């Protein structure tokens, strides 16, 4: 795996960060709005957002005193590509297995 993909998987390995990504899939949200349902402090959310931002999944913007987070379009593309490639390999192996098992008929 590439270092960027490793960092992305590590970031998404945290349940709070996955919950943030899930919430942001609905649309942008302020840091305080993200913190409420998760039961963590605004400071903790800001730290999680920083990790997600470094991986290219989330973007934050500060307007006045409010910091708002949103998902980066295609931020999860490396994970999708990695999963698609693995699935493709598995399907090819299963097709070969089916061919081998079918030869015995």
With a cut of 80, say whether residue 59 has pLDDT above it: yes
Instruction: Choose among 48, 50, 53, 54: nearest CA to 35.
Output: 48
Q: For residue 95, what is the domain's CATH number? A: 1.10.10.10
Count up the domains in the chain and report the number. Answer: 1
For Cα atoms 15, 88, 82, give the angle at the middle one, nearest 5 degrees. 35
Kindly report which listed range (14-18, 59-63, 91-95) carries the lowest average pLDDT score.
91-95
DSSP one-letter string for the chain: --HHHHHHHHHHTSHHHHHHHHHHTT--EEHHHHHHHHT--HHHHHHHHHHHHHTTSEEEEEETTEEEEEEPTTTTHHHHHHHHHHHHHHHHHHHHHHHHHHHT-
Average pLDDT, the chain: 89
Rg over CA atoms, the chain: 19
The residue-averaged pLDDT of 39-68 equals: 95
CB 58 within 8 A of CB 52: yes
Looking at residue 98, its pLDDT comes to 76
Does residue 85 carry a pLDDT above 90?
A: no
- How many residues are listed for the chain in this entry? 105
The predicted model gives 52-69 an average pLDDT of: 95
Q: Which domain holds residue 59?
A: 3-103
Query: Does residue 104 register a pLDDT over 80?
Result: no
């Amino acid at each position: 795996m590439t270092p960027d993909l490793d960092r992305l998987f590590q970031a998404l390995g945290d349940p709070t960060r996955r919950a943030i990504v899930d919430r942001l899939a609905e649309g942008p949200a302020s840091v305080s709005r993200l913190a409420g349902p998760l039961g963590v402090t605004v400071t903790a959310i800001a730290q999680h957002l920083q990790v997600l931002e470094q991986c290219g999944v989330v973007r934050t913007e500060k307007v006045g005193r409010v910091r708002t987070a949103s998902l980066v379009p295609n931020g999860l593309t490396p994970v999708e590509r990695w999963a698609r490639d693995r699935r493709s390999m598995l399907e090819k192996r299963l097709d070969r297995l089916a061919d081998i098992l079918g030869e015995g008929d």
